[in-house]
Structure 1
Amino acid sequence: MELIARNYEETVEEILIGIDKESFEIKHEQNEIDELTFTINLNGRNKISYDLVQYENYILWNGQIYIIKQMTEAASGMSLTKDVTAMHISIELKDGYQYDELTGKRSVSQLLTHVFKAGDLGFSWEVIDKDNQFVTVEQENFGSDNYKKLIDEILDDYDAIMIADNKHLYFYPRGDYGNVVEDQIRYKYNTDDVSFDIDTLELKTQIKGFGKKDEDNDDKYYFDPITYTSPKAETWGIRIQDPVQDERYTVPGNMEKRLKKDLQDVPEISGTVTLKFQSDLHIYDYVPFIYEPLNINEYIQIVGLTEYPMQPSKPPNVTLSNTKKTMTSILASLVRKGVL
């Protein structure tokens, strides 16, 4: 697979040679980072492509377009190098701004329509929700910000993920995207560098949900409050989580799905591993995580992935989490607790 540089005007492109293969990394973090980094050395055969490595020019890799946003040039005698960070073209969402605001109950699609009505910047989008998990959410003064921040707000409010195929954006409910893979990650057995934070501070086994109230009678609900008790209560006993109180729900079956999704009935697990094996893992895949001391054998989602495509023998570095935190808060928590 070739790394290609293209000028900003999109009139010239060249295959990049002189890449330090050990420097080439691709990093993905849930809903936050999609970037590649590399070092290129000037030699007698690559002056044209070397000169194309400039701010705001494009890097093409594996069918995706990246934009050079950070670069450090260095000279040592006759040796010239550039250390490059190129971000996925979806970073251009930061360049659009929606001044108008709206208030009221809105769906994901309605909010995206509002975001891009000011000008789409070449982006297109679609919402993929096979099981109708997305519901309308009450919004207040949604707007008056750049497209990226508004989309981040949507992802947070609707517990969604965004997958960008260049400038075409896909929006999924968080649990609906990612393959279930069978390559086990067995703590301290098939991993090298391992840093995990496992705690039971928020371990709960029961939760109650309250839906919409009758508009004519504040003491009456559309359906009786629902209590869900996890099978894990047989092991850990009854531990009650804060209730869900959400007037978007008028159907008991939908509330029950929400309760099962929200209940933290396994220990919270976040951490990073460097695998000993090569595997075709992707961001948002679910892998079996085994930790014998707490009898944990759970599928946990990949929320961060650093790959080394030019070093076929070097396995990826993986960040896993079963919490509902953002990637930023996961990493901050790991750093705070001395895990990273």
Structure 2
Amino acid sequence: MNTNNKVIIRSRDQTTTLPLTALDFSTFQTTWEKNSSYQVAFTAYDDSSLSFALLQVENSVLYDGQEYIIKQATDTYSGGVHSIQITATHIFYQLNNRRQNDVRKGDVSYSLQDALNFLMSVAPEYHYQVFGDINTHKTLTDFGNCTVTDGLSTISSNFGIYAIVPDNHTINLFSEANWVKKTGKAYYYRHDTSDVQLQYDSSNIVNRVQIVSTNDTPQFQPFYVTDDDSIKQWGIRDGERVENDQNNDTSGNVATAKRMLVTQPDLALTITTQAKNISKGEQWTLVIPESGITTKVQVVSITDTPFFLGSTQVSLNNTRQNFLDAFNARNREITELRGKMSSTSNGGGEANKANMWVIGKVSEV
């Protein structure tokens, strides 16, 4: 059955598969966020159909070639009307409930394939594909005794997997080079996008991490891994210390400490756009002429109402460069405003004209 343009409900035993006739199309929403969530949500009204009756937890929703499992179903009776609100998560997240209970004790060297085969042996109906050259060996300590999704997170952080993208029972693992799609698109505030939100958050900055020996007989003196530029700009922000309870080889501890560093404030970029056919992993140039911000961004979250002609909300990646682009633009704006204030106080009307924005197109993206 072709489910690409329909919402289909299927019973858990797969004996009954029917189009959902009771769907309130305006409420149907799809949400995907890189390495985080993948779900559909909607409201349906009781039309006495079998498909409506099938809206029960653990039954499946089929849409756009993907299968989702109903996890929350809220029945509402109001004013003589019976409705139900559904949230269904992608079938990939069934792996939250599958565990690799075996543990490979101690420090064990794995290839990526070895680690995945060990982890995925408890879920043989799922398969994986790797895109990119990720053939290095890594040492994992006491790997196992975890859910499959937690194990995939451990593998991703150690092997440098950039994106995990499920396609029903196939788990696609991408390197950054094989995930990012350089499109050459440029999106302009008030032209392609009706709303742009930049949310700054400095609470997660970490620019100094201590490494200590916790052996009964300390093997080395405590020392710090630091980012001096970040400390100079934001002051000291300590992270949780890294402990070594074995020997005086601290190379692995230093690598761990460097991964913990967050040297700049977070910048969450969100836009609302009328553009369609937005794909996961696309790289754009985002331009906000009023603030002089031009920055490279990548699509990391898409929320859409495909049956309702509205706007698509897109979250864009948060990188150090995005923050610096925005931060530098704000600093330029402050300089402009100070110049205007100075000119006004000195009676320099002509100087004010030189500070007006000139808005143009980006010729190369």
Same fold (TM over 0.5): yes
Q: Measure the CA separation in 2 of the matches of 1:123 and 1:3.
A: 24
Residue number in structure 1 paired with 2:112: 108
**Is residue 139 of structure 2 the alignment partner of residue 138 of structure 1?**
yes
Residue number in structure 2 paired with 1:151: 152
Q: Measure the CA separation in 2 of the matches of 1:85 and 1:287.
A: 31
Shift of 1:176: 1.8
**Is residue 314 of structure 2 the alignment partner of residue 318 of structure 1?**
yes
Shift in CA distance, 41/33, structure 1 to aligned 2, threshold 3 Å: same
Shift in CA distance, 265/99, structure 1 to aligned 2, threshold 3 Å: closer
TM-score by length of 1: 0.69
> What is the root-mean-square deviation of aligned Cα atoms in Å?
3.2
TM-score by length of 2: 0.65
Residue number in structure 2 paired with 1:274: 272
Structure 2: gaps spanning 5 or more residues: 205-249, 253-260, 321-365
Where do residues 154-165 of structure 1 align in structure 2 (5 Å cutoff)?
154-160=155-161, 161-165=163-167
Q: Measure the CA separation in 2 of the matches of 1:68 and 1:141.
A: 34
Shift of 1:92: 1.1
Structure 1: gaps spanning 5 or more residues: 203-245, 249-262, 325-340
Q: Measure the CA separation in 2 of the matches of 1:269 and 1:295.
A: 16
Secondary structure of the 1:17 match is coil
**Is residue 301 of structure 2 the alignment partner of residue 304 of structure 1?**
yes
Residue number in structure 2 paired with 1:65: 67
Larger radius of gyration: 2
Q: Measure the CA separation in 1 of the matches of 2:200 and 2:190.
A: 14
Percent of aligned positions with the same letter in both sequences? Answer: 23
Q: Pick one of 92, 95, 110 that aligns with 1:93.
A: 95
Shift in CA distance, 293/92, structure 1 to aligned 2, threshold 3 Å: same
Deviations 1:110-166 (A, max 9, x none): 21111022x22410112121xx25532221111111111111222222332111110
Count residues with an aligned counterpart: 264
Q: Measure the CA separation in 2 of the matches of 1:201 and 1:48.
A: 50
Residue number in structure 2 paired with 1:207: none
**Is residue 4 of structure 2 the alignment partner of residue 3 of structure 1?**
no
Q: Measure the CA separation in 1 of the matches of 2:290 and 2:193.
A: 17
Residue number in structure 1 paired with 2:331: none
Deviations 1:250-284 (A, max 9, x none): xxxxxxxxxxxxx9999964221111x22211222
Greater relative contact order (Cα < 8 A, sep 6+) = 1
Q: Measure the CA separation in 1 of the matches of 2:314 and 2:63.
A: 21
Q: Pick one of 56, 59, 66 that aligns with 2:58.
A: 56
Contact 2:192 2:275 in 1 (8 A): no
Q: Measure the CA separation in 2 of the matches of 1:146 and 1:268.
A: 29
